Structure 1
Amino acid sequence: MKEASNSPADETSGADARAEGFRQTRHNRRSELAEDYVELIAELIASRGEARQVEIAQRLGVAQPTVAKMLKRLAAEGLILQQPYRGIFLTEEGKSLAEMSRERHQVVESFLLALGISAETAQVDSEGIEHHVSQETLDAFREFLRKNS
């Protein structure tokens, strides 16, 4: 049995790994809202032909000024187009992000369902997990689903 080492190099390596984990989590949190918004906008466009600020606020349970601020950010990032007195539309980049987010959500939810998680819990849990799962883990979920379907 190998003994645990407490050398300074091991401590530095562990600290570096933790720091990278924290950095990745902060990055994921920043992109999580944008992904949720573009995914919702895509759903509204698909079901109603357009997305409006008031509908987004209602669906997310937030105030319209909160939505307005986020829409301004999304427009600045080139993910949406807004015109006065008209709906909100996704740019090609926004459509791509919405599709990627929707696909990640479906993979995570399907994985949880395959584990025997109830549909209600899988839906809720996948909403948070989808934003924080690495590509490696997502690929492993896909492989598990492929082998077990």
Structure 2
Amino acid sequence: MDNNQSFHTVRGYEILEKEKNSLTHSMEDYLEMIYRCYIEEGYARINSLSELLNVKASSATKMVQKLTKLGFVNYEKYGIIQLTEKGIAVGVFLLNRHIIIEQFLNIIGVQKDILINVELMEHNITSNALTRIETLNNFFKNNPDILKKFTQYQKSTLPEKT
């Protein structure tokens, strides 16, 4: 069996994915939040980033320095954080991934701890699975009658708060 057909532990799959991607989960979270700030303000600052991610400013600084070395952002001490073209491209992907998963969870009726679920899922989903979830989201969006039937079915089979 090749790597796509053999079983691994969750950590094993994470290692395989890490070999394809130079960003850690934390780096992705920071880059996504920097991109969110970029959409709103055109830049980010360490203090706002640390507040939004509930981390110390020193931790945010260290991560931004790593992202600078990798070419995703431009940052000078005590200055603003600017995304590079590479950072914008990855930021767009990361935010879209987050939105797709959040929409999916809303469609299937997840209400409790939705942000926790999105954060845990988004770092471990393959692009193939994400594309198929996006297709399903669009299907339900374009077929509200089927979504209504699905919602009614859920209400009759599942507990209310899920």
How far off is 1:82 after superposition? 0.8
Q: 2:72 aligns with which of 51, 75, 79?
A: 79
> Where do 1:49-128 residues align within 5 Å?
49-118=42-111, 121-128=113-120
Q: Which residue of 2 aligns with 1:145?
A: 137
How far off is 1:19 after superposition? 4.1
Local SS of the residue matching 1:17: coil
- Counterpart CA distance in 1 for 2:33 and 2:124 is 18
How far off is 1:55 after superposition? 1.3
**Residue identity matched to 2:92:** E
Higher relative contact order (CA 8 A, sep 6+): 1
- Counterpart CA distance in 2 for 1:42 and 1:108 is 18
Q: Which residue of 2 aligns with 1:22?
A: 11
Verify the 8 A CA contact 2:43 2:83 in the aligned structure 1.
Answer: no
Q: 2:121 aligns with which of 90, 113, 129?
A: 129
Give the ranges of 4+ consecutive aligned residues of structure 1 lying more than 4 Å apart after TM superposition: none
Listed one character per residue, the Cα deviations across residues 24-53 of structure 1 (whole Å, up to 9, x for unaligned) are: 313279521121111111222322342111
**Residues 115 and 24 of structure 1: CA distance in aligned 2, closer, same or farther (over 3 Å):** same
**Residue identity matched to 1:22:** R
Please give the root-mean-square deviation of Cα atoms over the aligned residues, in Å: 2.6
Q: Which runs of 5+ in 2 are unaligned?
A: 142-162
**Residue identity matched to 2:116:** V
Deviates more, 1:135-144 or 1:102-111: 135-144
Local SS of the residue matching 2:6: helix
**Residues 145 and 128 of structure 1: CA distance in aligned 2, closer, same or farther (over 3 Å):** same
- Counterpart CA distance in 2 for 1:30 and 1:43 is 18
Q: Which residue of 2 aligns with 1:7?
A: none
Listed one character per residue, the Cα deviations across residues 92-147 of structure 1 (whole Å, up to 9, x for unaligned) are: 111111100001111111111110111x6333311221111111211221222222
- Counterpart CA distance in 2 for 1:41 and 1:111 is 24
The answer to whether 1:42 aligns with 2:35 is: yes
Which one has the bigger helix percentage?
A: 1
Q: How many residues align?
A: 136
Listed one character per residue, the Cα deviations across residues 50-77 of structure 1 (whole Å, up to 9, x for unaligned) are: 2111111111121122111111110110
Local SS of the residue matching 2:24: helix
Local SS of the residue matching 1:104: helix
